Structure 1
Amino acid sequence: MEKFLICFILGLLCLKYNSYAQSVQYSAINCRKHSAVLTDFGGKGDGKTLNTAAFKAAIANLSKVAADGGAQLIVPPGKWLTGSFNLISQFTLYIHKEAVILGSQDETDYPLIDPLPSYGRGRDVVGKRFASLISGTNLTDVVITGGNGTIDGQGDIWWKKFKANKLNNTRPYLIEIMNSNQVQISNLTMLNSPSWHVHPVYCKNVIVDGLTIIAPVDVPNTDGINPDSCTNTRIRDCYIVSGDDCIAVKSGWDEYGIRFGMPTQHLSIKRLTCISPDSAVIALGSEMSGGIQDVRAEDITAINSQSGVRIKTAPGRGAYVKDIYVKNFKMYTMKYAFWMAGNYNSHPDLGFDPKALPVIQNINYRDMVGKNVSIAGNLAGIQGDPFTGICISNVTINLASKSMDPSKKSKVQPWNCTDIAGTSSRVSPQPCDLLAEKQPGKSVDCAFPVDTLPIDNVELKTCNVNV
């Protein structure tokens, strides 16, 4: 009888546990053999208790078994306040759909780290930078995903300090993965980063998929996704509202980026929706001194944004932006549809070489529609260093009745072109003379690659997690 009661009680406990635990499927580059929950290491999801030690302890323990089939840490429902912590290889951080990771607003919870060698200094101020909320360096096979769980950087206090010039070091990012291979960041909501939200840097084989990124549109440098000196990256199905560029493609700053010499190349962007009243949907630069090559963007929707595609560079940047391909782009209420600028003259210091002129060539835009656009194109190269090989085809821009800038009472200007060379076909309003039709009366399409990048051939596996 006693044995029966023990079994009965244990059975009730198991039933109670199973009534809460559910097996959830998710997609990842690799599944994991070992699993743990943050609460196993003292985590408290009350929104007040600092959980940095719990995250670090959980990851340290999982590191002991990660080589044996991989490990995953589950962040369960709750609000999990934390400072900066580092990830490991062969590891998945899974954030439950009802879980919120809250970034601490205390500077001391973010260790100071050296500037990136391709930048030479912090971007906000000269000196060091705060480690990102979630970081990883020299990793192989790392996944940050969830059931659309949330990472909230609580950036308000950082934005105020930055605007008041009260920061001595550069603000932290939400996620930064550096010098790593096989990186996946997917199916998450990210809010209110102190600065950039997602920053893979010096990485290869990066997958970014299904992110919702939201920050106030009036706060500085809250870029959405910034692939930086990365090779083989795909970005899919993301929705971004930002106070800066939704996607900013980068590769180092002036003499430091030239010396480091690591380009961003083979980047594919599909099904992006962006709202950014003061910045670009997709920006190439301004830090592009390691080079940017082979960027493919398609099926893009821009709403109430400053510009569709923007190239930002200047004398001193060196390197190149070339082989850029964009198609199937819809724009609603924009200041510029196309914007290229060779005078983006922010420099890390006085050590840059003004004779290091960038090469901008083979830029292709096709199959695009814009409505309520103030300026169709503002294309300004560098005197003595023109931007060449620009091609625009099958593009219709419906101009706004007046400029989006209320401080300017002048009429809308369709095109402004200097120091550029290229061609156009079936473009309305008619482009400037520097983009004359190559074959008047004939339909000519700008190039778009027909091959697929290696990263596009990566198939995700279906994995399970008990949450």
Structure 2
Amino acid sequence: MKQTAAMLFSLLSLSSVWAQEPARPTIQQVSFPKDTTNIATLGAKGDGQFLNTEAINKAITSVSQKGGGVVLVPAGLWLTGPIEMKSNVNLHVSREAIVLFSDNFDHYKLVESNWEGEPAWRNQNPISGKNLENIAITGSGIIDGNGGAWRMVKRSKMTETQWKNLISSGGVVDEKANIWYPSESSLSGAQQKKAGVMRPGTTAADFSDVKDYLRPNLLVFTSCKKILLEGVTIQNSPAWNLHPLMCQDLTLRKLLVRNPWYAQNGDGVDIESCKNVLVEDCTFDVGDDGICIKSGRDKAGRDRGMPTENVIIRNSIVYHAHGGFVIGSEMSGGARNIWVDDCSFIGTDIGLRFKTTRGRGGVVENIFINNINMVDIPGEAILFDMYYAAVDPLPLIGDKKQEIKVQKLPVTEETPRFQNFVIRNVHVNGADKGIFVRGLPEMNIKNISIENANIFAKKGIDIIEAEGIQLKNVKLNSKSSNPLVYIHNAKNIHIDGLMPVNATDLLFRVEGDENKNIQLSKSDLSKVKQQSEFTNGAKKNVLTIKK
């Protein structure tokens, strides 16, 4: 009776996620006067040689001071230093225009900024704005951050010819000749722990010797309201491409966001501590996470206390990336009320990627995902991992994954939480593993519902240190079936309608002495040779199999 009651409570908890689903947000939109100022009328030259920093910024400032309007970048190749946006300005980049940022680091001064969720000194962002309202970048032209001048490159990501060409271009390599850096200053920064991170008493001058290492994100808007990015191609960033930070009412529409696949920290968009966000009809092909939700790192993020919330992501495609849709790992301020609909991930290292680690704190909850297609995923199709280790999700040649040391620690404000995820209608053709869920012994991942999933993957399902997991109508075409489902110290696991496609040597391996209330029902077991195996203290009575 106790087991039945526990299962009923678990199912009620999962079903209540949908019952408590909040209303989707309304995102406020921008509006501008039709007055247009062509940057060429203020002395800009689109010849790829003339430095247009002064002319472009003069146009933006002038239009803003007159009450707003459009700043037009016409056909041409427009070389420039940092662009500073102003309120009520729409920077419109024509189809035949390329805005190319200078590769002269002296054009970028060290400024107070933010890096991976913490206050830090960084080189000035190519495009920036702070405390602005009603701003846009539109058109169908190209904005190029000239990131190759800034980024370090790992040898393992290059062919021998590419590596030799890179070395011959200048720069330096590290002692092991594994990583190329564009300068000695950049290498020196890499050898420091948290170079550029603000500490009491430090100033920009303290980091002048490692300035080249402090790569900027291409576009950063901080504490801005009513933002539109639409139509343009944004590419080749020194680090992250797009970084809206503490913004409200943000719309990203019909963007093409690109970085080389080997681009270190080459994320597509990192939406950090923002409220009311719409991302639709966008395409990402980048070197790190594609569409990523963040809210600050560790104590800095908890002290900020601003979750990313009320986010709609739909009708978007991610090609190469470390993850298609990602939350974390810097999520210390929390994330909640996020919808992801009708997206496709093609060749991303991981499909749906939710990552954190001890020390972060923060609560990620109320995440609703529907209609996701994935093709050729080298890693996990769906991954929840609370042991993120800040390394590439797929080991490169010569890399070794650290063994996870499992120990139960006290729950504190530094303990992260993942709870209340509903994932429906997922189709996967090609992945290394279908589903991977790994929580902490002291803080299990809780209340995850995955329904209507068709998965073709080498390996099946791992559920580790999790509670309240419901899988319904999951079709698994897996090459490895020993076991198809691995469960370690999990509680209230209900699998309804599991469909193994191939002959299965072992369906369940249950491990650990803290498992409780695992139930399989309404599943086709005709191709299963052995239903279950219990190891390392697991008791047989924790698993119930019903036809």
- TM-score using structure 1 length: 0.79
1:266 and 2:267 aligned: no
Aligned residue for 2:521? 440
Q: Give the letter aligned to residue 125 of structure 2.
A: S
1:60 matched to which residue of 2?
61
Comparing 152-161 with 419-428, greater Cα deviation is found at: 152-161
Equivalent-residue separation in structure 2 for 1:199 and 1:173 (angstroms): 7
What amino acid sits opposite 2:45 in the alignment? Answer: K
User: CA shift at 1:108, angstroms?
Assistant: 1.6
Pair 1:136 & 2:137 matched: no
> Are residues 332 and 118 of structure 1, via their aligned partners in 2, closer, same or farther at CA, if it must alter by over 3 Å?
closer
Aligned residue pairs total 388
How far has the Cα of 1:111 moved from its partner? 2.3
Q: Report the counterpart of residue 385 of structure 1 in structure 2.
A: 443
Moved more, 54-63 or 362-371: 54-63
CA distance in structure 2 between the partners assigned to 1:397 and 1:308 by the alignment: 12
Which residue is equivalent to 1:32?
33
Report % sequence identity: 29
Distance 1:368 1:120 in 2: 35
Aligned residue in 1 for 2:465: 419
1:46 and 1:79 in contact (8 A); partners too: yes
Please state whether the residue corresponding to 1:297 is helix, strand or coil.
strand
Contact 2:82 2:124 in 1 (8 A): yes
C-alpha deviation, 1:40, in angstroms: 1.1
1:285 is matched with 328
In the alignment, structure 1 residue 186 sits paired with structure 2 residue 206: no
Which amino acid is 2:61 matched to? A
- CA distances 1:29-58 after superposition (whole Å, capped 9, x unpaired): 313242210011110101111110111211
Work out which of the residue numbers 150, 164, 167 in structure 1 matches 2:142: 150
Deviation at 1:242, TM superposition (A): 0.7
Q: Which residue of 2 aligns with 1:236?
A: 280
Distance 2:224 2:115 in 1: 16
| Counterpart code for 2:102 | S
- Counterpart contact for 1:51–1:81, Cα < 8 Å: yes
Q: Does 1:119 align with 2:117?
A: yes
Could you tell me how far 1:61 is from its partner in structure 2?
A: 1.8
Deviation at 1:336, TM superposition (A): 1.1
In 1, the alpha carbon distance for the partners of 2:75 and 2:288 equals: 31
Q: Given residue 50 of structure 2, which amino acid in structure 1 is its aligned partner?
A: T
2:339 aligns with 296
Q: Give the whole-Å Cα distance in 2 for the aligned partners of 1:343 and 1:248.
A: 18
Contact 1:424/1:431, CA 8 A, preserved across alignment: no
Moved over 6 A (4+): none
1:317 aligns with 360
Equivalent residue letter for 1:441: K
Change (3 A) 1:365 1:384: same
The answer to whether the Cα contact below 8 Å between 2:114 and 2:122 also exists between their aligned partners in 1 is: no
Question: How do 1:331-342 residues align onto structure 2 when only pairs under 5 Å count?
Answer: 331-334=374-377, 335-342=379-386
How far apart are 1:359 and its partner, in Å?
Answer: 1.4
Q: SS of the residue aligned with 2:331? A: coil
User: How has the CA–CA distance of structure 1 residues 90 and 271 changed in structure 2, closer, same or farther, with 3 Å as cutoff?
Assistant: same
1:15 corresponds to: none
Matches within 5 A, 1:67-216: 70-116=68-114, 119-122=117-120, 128-146=121-139, 148-160=140-152, 163-164=180-181, 165-166=186-187, 167=189, 168-169=210-211, 170-216=214-260
> Is the 1:32–1:92 contact (alpha carbons within 8 Å) kept by the matching residues of 2?
no
Contact preservation (8 Å) 1:154, 1:194: yes
What secondary structure sits across from 2:118 in the alignment?
coil
Question: What aligned pairs does 1:337-348 form with structure 2 within 5 A after superposition?
Answer: 337-345=381-389
Change in Cα spacing, 1:263 to 1:305, as seen in structure 2 (3 Å) is same
| Residues in 1 aligned to 2:230 and 2:295: alpha-carbon distance in whole angstroms | 23
Going from structure 1 to structure 2, the CA distance change for 1:189 and 1:117 (only over 3 Å counts) comes to closer
Alignment of 1:308 with 2:351, yes or no, is yes
**C-alpha RMSD of matched pairs (Å):** 2.1
What secondary structure sits across from 1:226 in the alignment? strand
CA distance in 1, matches of 2:465, 2:249: 36
SS, match of residue 222 in structure 1: coil
- Equivalent residue in structure 1 for 2:270, among 226, 246, 250: 226
Say which of 402, 405, 418 aligns to 1:360. 418
* Shift in CA distance, 120/89, structure 1 to aligned 2, threshold 3 Å: same
Shift of the alpha carbon at 1:265?
0.2
Deviation at 1:213, TM superposition (A): 1.1
3-state SS of paired residue (2:125): coil
* 1:252 has 2:252 as partner: no
Query: Distance in 2 between the 1:38 and 1:282 partners?
Result: 37
CA distance in 1, matches of 2:83, 2:345: 34
Distance between the aligned counterparts of 2:238 and 2:180, measured in 1?
12
Shift of 1:338: 0.7
2:147 maps to a residue whose letter is G
Residue aligning to 2:526: none
1:308 & 1:432 partners in 2: Cα distance? 20
CA distance, structure 2, for counterparts of residue 344 and residue 311 of structure 1: 9
Partner of 2:65: helix, strand, or coil?
Answer: coil
Show structure 1 runs of 5+ residues with no match: 1-27, 123-127, 348-352, 400-411, 443-467
How far apart are the structure 2 equivalents of 1:223 and 1:115?
A: 17
Partner-residue secondary structure (3-state), 1:176: strand
Q: Write the letter of the residue equivalent to 2:32.
A: C
Contact 1:87 1:134 in 2 (8 A): yes
CA distance in 1, matches of 2:428, 2:388: 25
| Counterpart among 461, 475, 487 of residue 428 in structure 1 | 475
Residue 378 of structure 1 and its aligned partner are, at CA, apart by 1.9
Task: After superposing the two structures, state which structure 1 stretch, 431-440 or 52-61, moved more.
Answer: 431-440
Q: CA shift at 1:345, angstroms?
A: 4.3
Amino acid at match of 1:214: R
Tell me the SS of whatever aligns to 2:143: strand
**Counterparts of 1:117 and 1:222, CA distance in 2:** 13
Kept after mapping to 1: 8 A contact 2:32/2:88: no
The alpha carbon displacement at 1:276 in A equals 2.0
Q: Secondary structure at the match of 1:414?
A: strand
Q: Distance in 1 between matches of 2:180 and 2:88?
A: 39
Letter in 1 for 2:78: W
How far apart, CA to CA, are the structure 1 residues paired with 2:450 and 2:266?
Answer: 30
Does the residue aligned with 2:302 lie in a helix, a strand or coil?
helix
CA gap of 1:346–1:257, structure 2 versus 1, over 3 A, is farther
| Higher alpha-carbon deviation: 74-83 or 378-387 | 378-387
Q: Which has the higher contact order (CA 8 A, sep 6+)?
A: 1
Residue number in structure 1 paired with 2:16 = none
Determine if contact 1:361/1:387 at 8 Å carries over to the other structure.
yes
Asked whether the 8 Å contact 1:274–1:281 carries over to 2, the reply is yes
Mapping 1:393-412, distance limit 5 Å: 393-399=451-457, 412=458
Rounded to whole Å, the distance in 2 between the matches of 1:239 and 1:328 is: 17
Q: Structure 2 residue aligned with 1:372, among 417, 427, 430?
A: 430
